[in-house]
Amino acid sequence: MDRLSLRGLRFFGHHGARAEERTLGGHVMVDLEVETDAGPAAAADRREAAVDYRVLYECARVPAESEQYQLMEALAVAIAERARAVPGVRRAHVRVTKEPRMAGQTIGFSVAVTRPSD
C-alpha cells in the first residue's frame, strides 16, 4: 500500500470534556495519512486518477472546525471515517493533538486511530 500524508493541519474548534473548553475553544492539530494504490495515478500522471488532497483536507477541517466533540477520540474517528469514505482510500490513520489547556502541559494531548475501509 502507498501512503498520502497531510501533516500539521491546524484548526480552531470547540472540543473537550469540560464546558469551558467547548465554550472558549482551542486549537487542534491533525495529521492525516491514508493508504491507497498510487500506481494508477502515477502511471496516468493525472490529478483525476489520484486521491485529491483537497478532499482529504476537508475531511479533517469540517469536523475539527464545524462540529463539537467531548473526546479527542471521537473527533479522530470522525475524521478517519470521512477520509476512508473517499474513493481510492483503503485505510485512514489520524492523529489529533489538542493544545495544552492545563498547567504543566507543554506539548499537548494526542490520540491516534486507524480505520480500515469496509
Report how far Cα 105 is from the mean position of its chain's Cα atoms.
22
Is there a catalytic annotation at residue 78? no
Sign of torsion over alpha carbons 71, 74, 78, 84:
positive
Q: What span, in angstroms and rounded, lies between the C-alpha atoms of 101 and 107?
A: 10
Q: Which of 98, 99, 110, 117 is catalytic?
A: 98
Q: What span, in angstroms and rounded, lies between the C-alpha atoms of 116 and 80?
A: 9
- Point out the residues that are catalytic: 98
